[in-house]
Amino acid sequence: MENIRESLLEKFGEIFGDTVDAKVYFAPGRVNLIGEHTDYNGGHVFPCALTIGTYGVARKRTDNRLRFYSMNFEKLGLVESSLDDLTPSPEADWTNYPKGVIWAFGEKGMKVPGGMDLLLLGNIPNGSGLSSSASVEVLTGFVLRDFFGFDVTNQDLALIGQFSENQFNKVNCGIMDQFAIAMGKKDNAIFLDTADLSYEYAPIILKGAKLVIACSNKKRGLGDSKYNERRSECETALAELQKAVPIASLGELDEETFEKNAGLIENEVRRRRAKHAVYENQRTIRAVKALKANDIEAFGQLMNASHVSLRDDYEVTGIELDTLVEEAWKVDGVIGSRMTGAGFGGCTVSIVKDEAIDEFIEKVGAAYKEKIGYNADFYVVEAGDGPCVME
């Protein structure tokens, strides 16, 4: 880690003139093990923070200027803005994420009193669905708290990040991504009830196996994907159910109650969307119980069932993710595999026995290239901690 810290400081000095008073920070990415498209339906999710994420070097300024530089988008060069101009714009590109967080602090009564220089380097594949945007948001909030002493918890940082993404960047995301990143704990996943933000940590003990993420390299933008469409389909289905069932969210239903009342949902497509939200929530609850009982095989089967539901009922997978998962299922030593994230591209997550990892990467990679025409990338990952200062 010392090497990366030194190279980040060196780059910061090159871009911003010197490194006086600059500090180095890190915020993780996240992967969701099970519980997809449940977070805005009042259900449970089960994500973990990763050991890959976003590195930042930041320092306070004595004026109102905001100067941003990303080593991932070097062609954009230095992007300048000001505390007097906290409005989103296409020209601001990725800097809309840190600007949105600075704006959100102000909206929450914590006006940021001075500008900053910020350099970022992410080793999360961009557009992969491992939450590079939420990682940048949590990192920015963490830096602001460190700089200005704002009285906010890590959970508050998650909520501020979500608020900025919803209101500033106009992406109607749930709380899961920011929460998993801000509240990450090494070797644990977070069993989170998105209805009331109650949560518990559950150890990820994969005896003789590892988490492997396969990145499809199909880029997707959340804002222009069908994410908001799925969300509104679920909201309409909920309103139809509420005519006869006293619930505040789809997450309150079990499978039996849903099946009894599914006829209230007038449209067959909306019925399938709601079915996924209800069944996926119950799968997530069962999956965490299985993990606690050391039944990793049952956990893997629930992951597989989750993918089938996302493919058939929620229709958010697509040929790239389906190919990665269906090829994974053919490999001996794969305990479970599913798409993760919003879908329409992005990544899959698999639990793979140690001795099968090389074969998994080789076979799934070759089949994917043959069918899709370009490579997938593979990452063997671990559950990591939340944001920190890198001393």
Active-site entry in 177, 354, 377, 385: 177
Cα–Cα nearest to 219, from 48, 54, 327, 374: 374
Distance CA 194, CA 189 (A): 15
Distance CA 81, CA 67 (A): 6
Distance CA 1, CA 3 (A): 5
For the beta sheet containing 23-32, the strands, ordered from the edge strand earlier in sequence to the opposite edge, are 79-82, 65-70, 116-122, 47-60, 23-32, 388-389
Angle at 163 between CA 225 and CA 58, to 5 degrees: 100
Classify the C-alpha dihedral 154-5-48-40 as positive or negative: positive
Distance CA 378, CA 362 (A): 10
First-last CA distance in the chain:
10
Backbone region of residue 109 per phi and psi (left: phi > 0; alpha: psi in -120 to 50; beta: other values): left
39: exposed, middle or buried (Cβ count in 10 Å: 0-12, 13-18, 19+): buried
Q: Which amino acid is at 194?
A: T
Angle at 106 between CA 101 and CA 111, to 5 degrees: 115
Q: So what's the pLDDT on residue 354?
A: 97
Residues of the chain scoring pLDDT < 70: 1, 126-129, 219-225
Active-site annotation holds for 312? no
Distance CA 333, CA 340 (A): 20
Do the Cβ atoms of 333 and 194 come closer than 8 Å? no
Q: So what's the pLDDT on residue 288?
A: 96
Distance CA 137, CA 193 (A): 22
Q: So what's the pLDDT on residue 131?
A: 73
DSSP state of 41: G
Cross-strand bridge partners of residue 118: 58, 68
Classify the C-alpha dihedral 293-298-304-310 as positive or negative: negative
Distance CA 46, CA 50 (A): 13
Q: So what's the pLDDT on residue 223?
A: 43
Q: So what's the pLDDT on residue 132?
A: 86
Q: So what's the pLDDT on residue 126?
A: 65
DSSP state of 74: G
Structural domains of the chain ordered from first start: 2-204+385-389 (3.30.230.10)
Tokens of 276: 């996924």
Q: So what's the pLDDT on residue 225?
A: 63
String of DSSP letters for 222-267: TTTSSHHHHHHHHHHHHHHHTTTS--SSGGG--HHHHHHHGGGS-S
